């Protein structure tokens, strides 16, 4: 059953415009409102905006550090969700603040170019450039690149997963841990994923919205043209860092995310899968109104802290 607090939150939002009925630009403003309306109150941490450049790519980040942190901190590079079309650093500010405060880990939230202005594979190129910048430059901000994790939710989780694969293939940067929150692991390719039909009408992410995102990001084909947009279809999943895969039971992406977890395990990687049975896609941004989502966010922070301990 869907969490009662989440049911109440969705009832309050009834009648709001559907994201996929709007062009991308006004849709982005609405999505930012959605992300911030029910999120956690902003935790008191140090925040440093920074504009950088790495391998020919502009990298805009926000660096979150616990107050009065001493010594070099472990680092988590975070990629926001939004279907590769929506989302920004501001919409995920409170989530990153809370992860930082709860974990004691430095969080680096990285922006990336959005579709349709910048279609596939722009987001992948930017996210891998952000990883390279963190590995090269984060010591100057008090971070320890030898204790580095990648994390993201939804589209951002797919970017984190692909960044880990690209880093493996390139021989670095070394990643100690990946935390993937309800990733679209199949890149809109067909497969045995009954949750897509079971939750085609939501309760949060709908088939119409997914089609909207996929059309803008991937183009007319509506699906990833190669494995970089579909980490589940990578030629090899061996040699990846320990993984925490977080799922929501009431999510169209649940089954392909679960399939990715099983494939990672079959390839010899250490994988933990946690499924939140009362929650739906996008719950990471609902932690201010849904206690179960707040608990989940705290558990993710604990996982980061434990995985990156010296």
Whether 251 is a known active-site residue: answer yes
Alpha-carbon distance values, 176 to 77, 90, 155 (Å): 12, 27, 21
Q: What number of H helices and E strands is found in the chain?
A: 9, 8
Q: How crowded is the C-beta side of 284, counted as CA atoms within 13 Å?
A: 31
- Write the secondary structure of 17-72 as one string of H (helix), E (strand) and C (coil): CCHHHCCHHHHHHHHHHHHHHCCCCCCCCEEEEEEEEECCEEEEEEEEECCCCCCC
Given 154, 250, 255, 285, the catalytic residue: 154
Element housing 78 (H / E): strand 73-79
Angle at 214 between CA 122 and CA 94, to 5 degrees: 70
Whether 281 is a known active-site residue: answer yes
Given 3, 251, 255, 285, the catalytic residue: 251
* Rounded Cα gap, residues 225 and 165, in angstroms: 17
Report the length, in residues, of the chain: 310
Tokens 């201010």 identify what position?
288
Strand partners, 151: 78, 179
**Strand ranges of the sheet holding 73-79, from the earlier edge strand across to the other edge:** 46-54, 57-65, 106-110, 73-79, 143-153, 177-181, 243-250, 271-280
Catalytic residues: 154, 251, 281
């Amino acid at each position: 059953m869907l969490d009662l607090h989440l049911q109440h939150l969705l009832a309050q939002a009834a009648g709001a415009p559907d994201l996929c009925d709007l062009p991308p630009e006004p849709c982005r403003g609405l999505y930012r409102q959605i992300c911030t309306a029910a999120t956690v109150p902003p935790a008191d941490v140090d925040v440093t905006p920074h504009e950088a450049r790495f391998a020919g790519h502009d990298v805009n980040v926000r660096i979150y550090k616990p107050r009065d942190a001493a010594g070099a901190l472990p680092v988590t590079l975070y990629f926001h969700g939004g279907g590769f079309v929506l989302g920004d650093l501001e919409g995920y500010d409170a989530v990153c603040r809370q992860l930082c405060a709860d974990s004691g880990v430095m969080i680096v939230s990285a922006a990336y170019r959005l579709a349709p202005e910048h279609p596939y594979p722009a987001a992948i190129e930017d996210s891998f450039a952000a990883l390279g910048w963190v590995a090269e430059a984060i010591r100057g901000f008090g971070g320890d690149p030898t204790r580095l994790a990648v994390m993201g939710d939804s589209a951002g989780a797919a970017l984190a997963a692909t960044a880990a694969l690209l880093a493996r293939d390139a021989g670095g940067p070394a990643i100690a841990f990946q935390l993937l929150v309800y990733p679209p692991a199949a890149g809109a390719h067909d497969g045995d994923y009954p949750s897509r039909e079971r939750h085609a009408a939501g309760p949060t992410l709908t088939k119409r919205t997914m089609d909207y995102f996929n059309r803008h990001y991937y183009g007319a084909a509506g699906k990833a043209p190669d494995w970089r947009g579909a980490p589940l279809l990578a030629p090899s999943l061996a040699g990846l860092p320990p993984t925490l895969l977080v799922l929501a039971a009431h999510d169209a992406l649940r089954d392909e995310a679960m399939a990715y977890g099983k494939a990672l395990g079959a390839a010899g990687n250490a994988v933990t899968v946690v499924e939140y049975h009362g929650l739906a896609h996008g719950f990471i941004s609902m932690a201010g109104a849904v206690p179960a989502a707040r608990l989940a966010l705290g558990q993710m922070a604990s996982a980061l802290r434990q995985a990156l301990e010296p």
